[in-house]
C-alpha cells in the first residue's frame, strides 16, 4: 500500500504549467498580418531601388562626358574630374552587381541601400569638385545652377529616395557654391545662391513627394486594428 500510494504522489521539481495566453500577451492575428505586409512592402521597395540604381551608375559617365565637353577645360583638370566621377560610377556598379546575387534577401537589400547612400555622398563631392576643376570663371550663373541641380534632378527622378538624393545634392550644391565664391565665377554671389537654390529645390521636391505618398498610404491603411 505504501508503494502504491507513493506512485500517486506528485514528483518534486516539476514546474507548474504555463498560464494560457491572455489578451495582453497574445499578439493579434491582424497585427501579425500587418507586420508581414510591412516587411513585404519594405522588401519590394528596396528591390525596386536596387533595380533603379543601375541607371545611376550608367548615367554618371554620360553626365561626365557632357560636362567636360561643354566646359572645354584643360586636360589635367578634366582628367582629374573624370577620375573622381568614374570611380563613383565604378563602385556603384560593382556594389549593384554584388547585391544582385541575392536580389530578394532583405538583409542584403538593406545593406545595398546603406552603401548607395555612402556612394552617392562621395559622388556628390566628386561632382561638386568639378565646379573648381572644369567650370571657367566666365560661367553664366544659370549654367552654374544647372551644373549643381541638373545631375541631382536626374538622380532624384531615378532613385526617388530622399536620403539618397540629399547625399548627392547637398555636397554638390555646397561645393559648387564655394567654387562660385572662391574661384570666383562671375557674378559670384548670384552663382552661389542659384547653386544652393537648385539643390534645395531638388531635395525638397523629393521629400515633399515622399511625404505625400506616405500620407496617402496612411489614409488607405486601417487605423485601428484592435477594433476588427
What phi, psi does 212 have (nearest 5°)? -65, -35
This model's pTM is above 0.75: yes
Residues 6+ apart with CB under 8 A from 215: none
Alpha carbon distance 99, 160 (integer Å)? 19
The verdict on residue 36 lying in a domain is no
Alpha carbon distance 146, 155 (integer Å)? 14
Here the cell at position 100 is 544582385
The verdict on residue 127 lying in a domain is yes
Alpha helix locations (H) across 8-74?
29-71
Alpha carbon distance 76, 83 (integer Å)? 11
Alpha carbon distance 179, 188 (integer Å)? 9
DSSP sequence for 129-170? HHHHHT--TT--HHHHHHHHHHHHHHHHHHH--HHHHHHHHH
The verdict on residue 74 lying in a domain is yes
Here the cell at position 67 is 560636362
Report which of 88, 29, 45 is spatially closest to residue 210, judged by C-alpha positions: 45
Q: What is the pLDDT of residue 224?
A: 43
The verdict on residue 199 lying in a domain is yes
**Domain interval for residue 115:** 49-219
The verdict on residue 35 lying in a domain is no
List the pLDDT tens digit at each of the 228 positions of the chain: 455 555 555 555 555 555 555 554 556 676 676 677 567 677 888 889 999 999 999 999 999 999 999 998 899 999 999 999 999 999 999 999 999 998 888 888 999 999 999 999 999 999 999 999 999 988 999 999 999 999 999 999 999 899 999 999 999 999 999 999 998 888 899 999 999 999 999 999 999 988 888 777 677 654 444 444
The verdict on residue 20 lying in a domain is no
Report which of 174, 58, 165 is spatially closest to residue 120, judged by C-alpha positions: 165
Relative orientation angle of helices 162-182 and 188-220, to the nearest 10 degrees: 170
Rg (CA), the chain: 28
The verdict on residue 91 lying in a domain is yes
CB 81 within 8 A of CB 64: yes
**Cα→Cα distances 209→18, 113, 127, 156, 161, Å:** 50, 19, 25, 11, 10
The verdict on residue 42 lying in a domain is no
Total structural domains in the chain? Answer: 1
Amino acid at each position: 500500500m505504501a508503494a502504491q500510494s507513493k506512485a500517486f504522489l506528485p514528483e518534486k521539481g516539476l514546474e507548474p504549467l504555463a498560464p494560457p495566453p491572455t489578451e495582453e500577451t497574445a499578439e493579434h492575428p491582424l497585427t501579425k498580418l500587418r507586420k508581414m505586409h510591412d516587411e513585404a512592402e519594405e522588401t519590394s521597395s528596396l528591390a525596386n531601388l536596387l533595380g533603379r540604381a543601375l541607371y545611376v551608375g550608367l548615367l554618371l559617365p554620360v553626365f561626365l562626358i557632357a560636362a567636360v565637353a561643354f566646359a572645354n577645360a584643360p586636360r589635367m583638370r578634366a582628367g582629374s574630374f573624370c577620375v573622381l566621377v568614374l570611380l563613383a560610377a565604378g563602385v556603384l556598379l560593382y556594389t549593384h552587381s554584388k547585391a544582385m546575387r541575392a536580389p530578394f534577401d532583405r538583409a542584403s537589400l538593406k545593406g545595398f541601400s546603406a552603401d548607395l547612400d555612402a556612394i552617392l555622398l562621395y559622388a556628390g563631392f566628386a561632382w561638386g569638385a568639378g565646379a573648381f576643376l572644369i567650370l571657367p570663371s566666365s560661367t553664366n550663373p544659370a549654367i552654374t545652377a544647372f551644373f549643381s541641380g541638373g545631375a541631382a534632378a536626374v538622380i532624384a527622378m531615378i532613385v526617388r529616395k530622399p536620403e539618397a538624393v540629399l547625399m548627392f545634392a547637398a555636397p554638390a550644391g555646397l561645393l559648387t557654391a564655394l567654387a562660385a565664391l572662391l574661384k570666383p565665377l562671375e557674378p559670384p554671389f548670384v552663382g552661389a545662391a542659384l547653386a544652393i537654390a537648385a539643390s534645395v529645390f531638388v531635395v525638397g521636391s523629393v521629400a515633399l513627394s515622399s511625404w505625400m505618398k506616405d500620407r496617402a498610404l496612411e489614409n488607405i491603411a486601417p487605423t485601428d486594428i484592435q477594433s476588427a
